[in-house]
């Protein structure tokens, strides 16, 4: 195993190797302030832990762009972006509690062990007071657990598994992104209206926590419509070649393929499914259909024409016309020359929400931040009125159902929003069976 050293301002240095299993973590603690990595008077360090390699690296690159933009806005650089539209008005471009925001970065490699190692290094070696990022729910669950132990706040990035704020929820962890249950609840009515209630579905599913809960959620939702589930097949993350998993579909009697895949895996599996001629088939007297429950603009870009007409859900899309979304799209576009992805959006928002919570609390102590975020209602961040529920630290907001455009106007204009599902339609009880098990616990300041 290797451990990386990270420098301020987000420049990744080459790692120095160390051997053996990870020892029990030890973290910097301030006796005077009684919490981990209390900042000095002039600066505060945040840790951005994103996949810079692996199956979700495209999302990771966009996440890092968004974090760097958020830091600029927090420090009073640029046009301020969503600071101008955020319903809370305590952030004024002077950093966080008067301290300049600095940052360090890590590469999760889309692997839980690597993500924990990089987060641990940022906390222990660089004094990061908050960790955020990731595009894998396996990574999110692992890093969230580490941050709970360390006594720092974890503001998750792109994590869609029900477990992140379900059985694996932690008091020090918060999720802005939506989850698998919400995707299924939003998609089911649209699938019913377009494909009817008599379908035979075959699932290909990423074999880790996100895939499992996405499969469970969408299967339950479609079966409630009357659909029959023909088979559920697990595929390894980063498989690349999915032909051995697609071939059996041809003789299965299925007329619908549900791809519980994300990132490059979705690009590859969808492309190969189309190459196998699935979309040209008729089965059971119906045109064969493909559904991608969790979509992104980056995935659509990778899959190209293969996404045309395919339904899915997304947390946010750059084409939204509300003032907040357009402010973010404008800032991001001016900085990087193209529109942001949903991964970029949720990470930018999480960085601002953390800063805002500290500012409102008047304290960097993680327990003060937890108190400020629990039950926090806000608007002006691109998703409409949003609640950070105290019971599980999950955000509840509107969910978008999208479809691949038949005639895109440019390389970014690939998805169209076909339905905005109101928050109340995707809200569930904290003790819902899909989220059962595990306790939120109490905040840990690390003292």
Query: CATH number of the domain that 299 lies in?
Result: 3.40.50.2300
Q: What is the DSSP string of 50-111?
A: E-SSSTTHHHHHHHHHHHHHHHHHHTT-TT-GGGGT-S-----SS-BTTBEEEEEEEE-TT-
In a domain, 437, yes or no: no
Residue 33 pLDDT level (bands cut at 50, 70, 90): low
Q: Which of 226, 321, 315 is nearest to 262 (CA)?
A: 315
**Domain of 223, in residue numbers:** 181-314
Q: What is the mean pLDDT of residues 196-214?
A: 95
The SS3 of residue 246 is helix
The SS3 of residue 377 is strand
Using CA atoms, how far apart are residues 61 and 53, in angstroms rounded to an integer? Answer: 9
Shared domain check, 298 and 367 = no
> How far, CA to CA in Å, does 382 sit from each of 83, 280, 349, 399?
12, 37, 9, 11
Question: Residue 231: CA atoms inside 13 Å, Cβ hemisphere, count?
Answer: 15
Shared domain check, 194 and 130 = no
Burial class (CB in 10 A: 0-12, 13-18, 19+), 247: exposed
Q: What is the CA angle 185-137-3, rounded to 5?
A: 170
**pLDDT at 21 > cutoff 70:** no
In a domain, 366, yes or no: yes
Shared domain check, 306 and 185 = yes
Shared domain check, 213 and 153 = no
Shared domain check, 158 and 104 = yes
**Model confidence pLDDT, tens digit, residues 388-427:** 999 999 999 999 999 999 998 888 999 999 999 999 999 9
Q: Which of 51, 47, 49 is nearest to 110 (CA)?
A: 51
**Which tokens is 201 given?**
């579905």
Q: Which of 411, 412, 383, 407 is nearest to 395 (CA)?
A: 383
**pLDDT at 373 > cutoff 90:** yes
**pLDDT at 182 > cutoff 80:** yes
In a domain, 431, yes or no: no
124, 67 in Cβ contact below 8 A? no
Shared domain check, 154 and 62 = yes
In a domain, 297, yes or no: yes
Shared domain check, 131 and 97 = yes
Of 265, 296, 314, which closes a domain?
Answer: 314
Shared domain check, 230 and 149 = no
Q: What is the DSSP string of 329-368?
A: HHHHHHHHSSPPPHHHHHHHHHHHHHHHHHHHHT---HHH
Q: Which of 292, 76, 341, 90 is nearest to 191 (CA)?
A: 292
**Which tokens is 248 given?**
């059996």
Shared domain check, 53 and 151 = yes
Q: What is the CA angle 98-345-214, rounded to 5?
A: 130
Shared domain check, 199 and 152 = no
Using CA atoms, how far apart are residues 415 and 413, in angstroms rounded to an integer? Answer: 6
Q: Which of 383, 403, 387, 384 is nearest to 395 (CA)?
A: 387
Mean pLDDT estimate for the chain: 91
Residues 6+ apart with CB under 8 A from 196: none
Shared domain check, 238 and 149 = no
Q: Which of 161, 151, 158 is nearest to 176 (CA)?
A: 158
Using CA atoms, how far apart are residues 378 and 285, in angstroms rounded to an integer? Answer: 48
Shared domain check, 174 and 47 = yes
In a domain, 137, yes or no: yes
In a domain, 338, yes or no: yes
In a domain, 377, yes or no: yes
Of 314, 330, 353, which closes a domain?
Answer: 314
125, 68 in Cβ contact below 8 A? no
Rg (CA), the chain: 21
**Model confidence pLDDT, tens digit, residues 239-275:** 889 999 999 999 999 999 999 998 889 999 999 999 9
Helix (H) or strand (E) holding 154: strand 153-156
In a domain, 402, yes or no: no
**Which tokens is 214 given?**
């996405």
**Model confidence pLDDT, tens digit, residues 327-355:** 999 999 999 999 999 999 999 999 999 99
Instruction: List the single range of 52-56, 160-164, 361-365, 394-398 with lowest mean pLDDT.
Output: 52-56
- Provide the domain count of the chain: 2
């Amino acid at each position: 195993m290797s451990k990386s050293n990270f420098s301020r301002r987000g420049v990744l240095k080459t790692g120095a190797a160390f051997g053996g299993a990870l020892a029990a973590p030890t973290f910097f603690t301030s006796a005077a302030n009684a919490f981990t990595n209390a900042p000095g008077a002039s600066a505060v360090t945040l840790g951005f832990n994103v996949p810079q390699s692996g199956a979700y690296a495209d999302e990771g690159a966009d996440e890092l762009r968004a974090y760097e933009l958020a830091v600029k806005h927090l420090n009073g650089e640029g046009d301020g972006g969503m600071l101008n539209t955020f319903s809370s008005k305590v952030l004024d471009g002077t950093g966080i509690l008067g301290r300049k925001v600095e940052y360090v970065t890590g590469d999760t490699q889309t692997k839980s062990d690597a993500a924990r190692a990089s987060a641990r290094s940022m906390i222990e070696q660089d004094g990061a007071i908050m960790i955020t990022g990731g595009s894998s729910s396996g990574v999110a669950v692992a890093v969230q657990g580490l941050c709970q132990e360390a006594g720092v706040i974890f503001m998750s990035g792109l994590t869609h598994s029900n477990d992140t704020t379900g059985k694996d929820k932690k008091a020090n962890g918060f999720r802005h992104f939506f989850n698998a249950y919400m995707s299924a609840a939003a998609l089911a009515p649209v699938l019913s209206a377009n494909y009817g209630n008599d379908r035979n579905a075959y699932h290909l599913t990423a074999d880790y926590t996100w895939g499992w809960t996405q499969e469970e959620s969408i299967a339950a939702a479609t079966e409630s419509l009357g659909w029959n589930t023909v088979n559920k097949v697990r595929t390894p993350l980063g498989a690349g070649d999915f032909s051995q998993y697609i071939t059996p579909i041809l003789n299965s009697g299925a007329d619908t393929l549900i791809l519980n895949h994300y990132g490059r895996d979705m690009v590859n599996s969808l492309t190969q499914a189309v190459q196998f001629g699935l979309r040209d088939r008729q089965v059971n007297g119906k045109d064969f259909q493909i559904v991608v429950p969790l979509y992104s603009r980056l995935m659509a870009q990778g899959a190209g024409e293969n996404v045309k007409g395919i339904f899915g859900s997304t947390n946010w899309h750059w084409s939204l016309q509300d003032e907040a979304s357009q402010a973010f799209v404008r800032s991001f576009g001016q900085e990087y020359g193209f529109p942001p992805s949903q991964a970029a959006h949720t990470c930018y928002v999480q960085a601002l929400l953390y800063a805002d919570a500290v500012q409102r609390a008047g304290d960097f102590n993680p327990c003060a931040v937890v108190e400020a975020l629990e039950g926090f209602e806000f608007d002006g961040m691109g998703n409409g009125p949003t609640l950070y529920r105290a019971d599980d630290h999950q955000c509840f907001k509107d969910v978008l159902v999208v479809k691949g455009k038949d005639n895109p106007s440019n390389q970014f204009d690939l998805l169209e929003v076909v339905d905005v599902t109101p928050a109340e339609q995707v809200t569930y009880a904290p003790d819902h069976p899909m989220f059962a098990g595990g306790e939120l616990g109490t905040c840990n300041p690390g003292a």
